[in-house]
Amino acid sequence: MRKNNAEIYNVSVGTGNSYNYFNISIEIDPITFANGDTLRFIFVVSGAGRTQPNNLLILGGNTQIRTDASQLVPINYDEAIDINSTLPKGIFQKDFFASIIKMFNMYVVEDATRDKHLIIKPYIEYYDFDGQSLLAFDDFNSLLKVNNQDFLLLFDGTIQYLDWTYKVDRSKPMRLKPMSELNGRYFEFKYKSDTDYYNDQYQKKYAQTYGTRIEDSGYDFAKDKQTAELIFAATPLVGYDGQDKIYSTIFKLNTNVEDNTEHVIRILQAKKVTGVTGYAVKNGSTTLATLTNYGYAGHLDDPDAPNADLCFSTPEELYFELVTDYPSANLFNAYWSEYVAEITDKDSKLLSAFIYIKAKDIFNLDFAKLIMIDGALWRLNNITDYNPMDIGITKAEFLKVIETTYE
């Protein structure tokens, strides 16, 4: 074994004239590494008077390198991140990813041009409302082939869409349902509940988790509630008397003493806050430094002049003094309100129809493209039971487009 090309350990595992099998398990004294150090394992087959090639076959192996303390490792833009090693025990990557999708109302599709890549966009950016971003057109409709799809692609100067009017099988029934028949009355967006002091107090007082949003569609004949819950718990911000620093708090209060407690995974925005009253960082009675800044992490992007909030709604109660207006740019307003407004609009409808689809249509299918049927714009919701061996008549569902611009 060599560190920086200098031998630090050597072991002989046996001799013989025929095949020898060895199971090597060694444990050595701790080795200290610095940035840039290298560790090499060198295996040598040797013997006096050997005339045959020195063949060495290594079957399996496991080397573990551990550290006593966690280290901060900077991550550069576009650098690969091993998500599994950054998540707490008991948290699955799929659940973590699904909660990020729920937070920002993301749409996830495979990248047709790169293997093992996904395209992830919020709902408000997913649909193609700007035809000029893909193809240049004059202000008139044109008969075109796009990705070899043999139907009209039309352009009205601002919106690109595919005309499927003549793909509809008129011999089969078409069904048009108001979305009010399909959705529940209430849409609830919330963080997972937790039992730390401030989360527990808020839950008991307001019968909901911190930062929850409950949207009432107003449907008199619907009573169901649709819920989107994250794996993360909310983290109330707290300001203490006589201090100008704002903290995210996770503790249990035990006889007026703040004790550490087990807690649900959290997600926060981080920032270095400057210009606070100087405070001392001490080791016992020894002052190590006097600082006028601190590392902040919370659901607001800035504890003093916030512009964005990771809550779904403005909390019913704040545990610190905010001198500016509370931001309206929360998760619901920024990423969900347009979607909920559209599916609960009085003119919102779900169209079910049978359409003529070829294999190349399926291959080039893009849900971001709007569909025109009988003079109305629709979003393709799903295609069910497609069979390439059949004549190509397949059931599809479409959601009516209400809005074509989003803030």
Which pair of structure tokens corresponds to residue 365? Answer: 């299918």
For 21: left if phi > 0, alpha if psi spans -120 to 50, otherwise beta; the answer is beta
Q: Which of 281, 206, 209 is nearest to 245 (CA)?
A: 281
248 or 9: which carries more pLDDT confidence? Answer: 248
Residues 225 and 163 in one domain: no
Q: What percent of the chain has pLDDT over 90?
A: 41
Strand ranges (DSSP E) for 68-137?
Answer: 106-110, 118-122
What's the CA gap between 402 and 298, in Å, rounded? 35
Q: What percent of the chain has pLDDT over 70?
A: 79
Of 310, 334, 358, the position where a domain reaches its end is 334
Residues 380 and 291 in one domain: no
Give the range of the structural domain holding residue 308, as residue numbers without chain letter.
201-334
Residues 134 and 257 in one domain: no
DSSP string, 257-272: EEE------B--EEEE
Which pair of structure tokens corresponds to residue 328? Answer: 């309206």
Cα dihedral sign for 210, 216, 222, 226?
Answer: negative
Q: Is the pLDDT of residue 150 over 90?
A: no
Q: What is the pLDDT of residue 142?
A: 38
Q: What is the pLDDT of residue 26?
A: 66
Which pair of structure tokens corresponds to residue 96? Answer: 């973590």
Residues 250 and 300 in one domain: yes
Q: What is the pLDDT of residue 182?
A: 63
Residues 328 and 258 in one domain: yes
Q: Which of 65, 66, 91, 1 is nearest to 39 (CA)?
A: 1
Provide the total of helices (H) and of strands (E) in the chain, helices listed first: 6, 21
Residues 216 and 315 in one domain: yes
Task: With respect to residue 303, please indicate whether it lies within any of the assigned structural domains.
Answer: yes
Cα distances (angstroms) measured from residue 244 to each of 50, 139, 218, 319: 78, 58, 43, 13
Cα distances (angstroms) measured from residue 28 to each of 8, 9, 14, 63, 342: 10, 8, 19, 12, 65
> Cβ–Cβ contacts within 10 Å for residue 373, how many?
22
Residue 157, amino acid: G
Cα-Cα-Cα-Cα torsion 164, 119, 214, 199, nearest 10 degrees, comes to 170
Task: With respect to residue 369, please indicate whether it lies within any of the assigned structural domains.
Answer: yes
Q: What is the pLDDT of residues 97-148, one digit of tens each?
A: 999 999 999 999 888 888 888 999 998 888 876 643 333 333 333 333 333 3
Task: With respect to residue 206, please indicate whether it lies within any of the assigned structural domains.
Answer: yes
Contact 193, 209 (CB under 8 A): yes
Give the least confident one: 145-149, 224-228, 360-364: 145-149
Residue 216, amino acid: D
Which pair of structure tokens corresponds to residue 201? Answer: 């107090």
Task: With respect to residue 36, please indicate whether it lies within any of the assigned structural domains.
Answer: no
Pairing of strands 186-192, 225-233: parallel
Average pLDDT (296-306) is 95
* Coil/strand/helix, residue 378: strand
What's the CA gap between 210 and 193, in Å, rounded? 8
Q: What phi, psi does 360 have (nearest 5°)?
A: -70, -25
**Helices marked H in 93-187:** 93-104, 123-126
Residues 321 and 207 in one domain: yes
Residues 232 and 175 in one domain: no
What's the CA gap between 193 and 212, in Å, rounded? 10
Residues 214 and 308 in one domain: yes
Q: Which of 56, 19, 20, 52 is nearest to 41 (CA)?
A: 56
Of 290, 310, 334, the position where a domain reaches its end is 334
Q: What phi, psi does 230 have (nearest 5°)?
A: -90, 165
Q: What is the pLDDT of residue 353?
A: 93
Q: Which of 216, 178, 224, 192 is nearest to 102 (CA)?
A: 192
In which band, very low, low, confident or very high, does the pLDDT at 22 lie, cut at 50, 70 and 90? low
Of 334, 355, 371, the position where a domain reaches its end is 334
Q: What is the pLDDT of residue 309?
A: 97
Q: What is the pLDDT of residues 193-211, one digit of tens each?
A: 999 999 999 999 999 999 9
Q: What is the pLDDT of residue 127?
A: 85
Residues 260 and 358 in one domain: no
In the numeric block, the tokens 């399926």 are attached to 362
Kindly report the average pLDDT of the chain as a whole number.
82
What distance, in Å, lies between the first and last C-alpha atoms of the chain?
A: 60
- What is the count of structural domains for the chain? 2
Answer whether 0.75 is exceeded by the pTM: no
What's the CA gap between 265 and 194, in Å, rounded? 10
Residues 314 and 361 in one domain: no
Contact 262, 219 (CB under 8 A): no
Q: Residue 210 half-sphere exposure, CB side, CA atoms within 13 Å?
A: 27
Task: With respect to residue 52, please indicate whether it lies within any of the assigned structural domains.
Answer: no
In the numeric block, the tokens 């005339």 are attached to 51
Tell me which range, 105-119, 122-136, 232-246, 354-368, is most confidently predicted by mean pLDDT: 232-246
Q: Is the pLDDT of residue 391 over 80?
A: no
What's the CA gap between 155 and 140, in Å, rounded? 7
Q: What is the pLDDT of residue 333?
A: 94
Residues 356 and 281 in one domain: no
Average pLDDT (24-29) is 69
